[in-house]
Amino acid sequence: MEQFEVIFLDDDRKTVLDHQMVNEGQPVKYSGQMPTKEPTNGMSYTFIGWIGEEKMEAVSERLVLIAKYSAETISATKDENALLQASLENAENTNLNATIEAGQKVSEQQKALAKDTRTAEQIVNEVLENGKAEIGQEANKDNIER
């Protein structure tokens, strides 16, 4: 009686999962461990059978069977969702605090400008002469003469 080689490969078509010699007309059954595939790109994989498995009932030729997997999107766990929510809330609070802080600085600058008794021309001249002007100071003879 003739025998045929049966090779079970993973879906990379390189990794041999099982290798058997089977008598002609006899069925073949996979005898290795359940094939697995590592999750990638947010997808998990479940072994669902073999490409060419219809020929396993009665072997009549050399067979190379390849593992088939179904792909499912990995959903976030409750802990991951809670962590994501906390991160979003933290980002919102950080943005809110930065907005409040910026508003307070603008308000302080507006108050300082309101107290400043110099004219816009005097402030511009001071900037041109000194490279800066101290906002909020009162006009005095020294500032005006500069």
**Residue that terminates a domain, selected from 48, 73, 98:** 73
- Residue 62 sits in the same domain as residue 10: yes
pTM: 0.51
Task: Give 9-36 pLDDT, tens digit per residue.
Answer: 999 999 999 999 999 999 999 999 999 9
CB within 8 A of 47, min separation 6: which ones? 34, 35, 36, 37, 67, 68, 69
- Residue 53 sits in the same domain as residue 104: no
Q: What is the mean pLDDT of residues 58-62?
A: 96
Can you read off the two tokens belonging to residue 62? Answer: 């050399």
Can you read off the two tokens belonging to residue 93? Answer: 């609070």
The number of distinct structural domains making up the chain is 3
Residue 146 pLDDT > 60: no
d(CA 54, CA 8): 14
- Residue 14 sits in the same domain as residue 67: yes
